[in-house]
């Protein structure tokens, strides 16, 4: 499985890596070691992919070591949608292949 985030040592935790199947980069930072990290509170990151396969790959990578709160399944706005909390405590909503609505 492709590693999507990497923790670096130093006075503050920071890193950047390519998100799976998207070709885009994500960045994360943390505070100094004297400030304990209890996970991200009050926010969810949403990803939208052009295909179901891209969404499935991203979901699987983010779920590794984390907890799935809503497995991928069809939704009225996308052919697949799911939610999870990754191993770092970040909450994610993953959408794959938007559904077209009549005008």
pLDDT digits (tens, 9 = 90+) for 47-96: 999 999 999 999 999 999 999 999 999 999 999 999 999 998 899 999 99
Q: Which pTM value belongs to this model?
A: 0.67
The token pair that represents 74 in the structure block = 């069809």
Q: Where are the domains of the chain?
A: 37-98
pLDDT at 2: 43
Which of the following CATH numbers is that of domain 37-98: 3.60.70.12, 3.10.180.10, 2.30.110.10, 3.30.70.20? 3.10.180.10
Q: In what order do the strands lie in the sheet with 67-73?
A: 45-49, 91-98, 78-85, 67-73
**Where do we find the tokens 């909503």?**
93
């Amino acid at each position: 499985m492709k590693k999507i985030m990497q923790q670096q040592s130093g006075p503050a935790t920071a890193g950047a890596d390519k998100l799976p199947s998207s070709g885009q980069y994500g960045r994360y930072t943390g505070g100094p070691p004297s400030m304990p990290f209890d996970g991200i509170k009050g926010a969810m990151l949403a990803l939208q992919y052009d295909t179901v396969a891209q969404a499935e790959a991203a979901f699987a990578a983010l779920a590794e070591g984390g907890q799935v709160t809503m497995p991928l399944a069809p939704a009225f706005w996308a052919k697949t949608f799911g939610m999870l909390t990754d191993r770092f405590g970040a909450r994610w909503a993953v959408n794959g292949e938007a559904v077209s609505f009549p005008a």
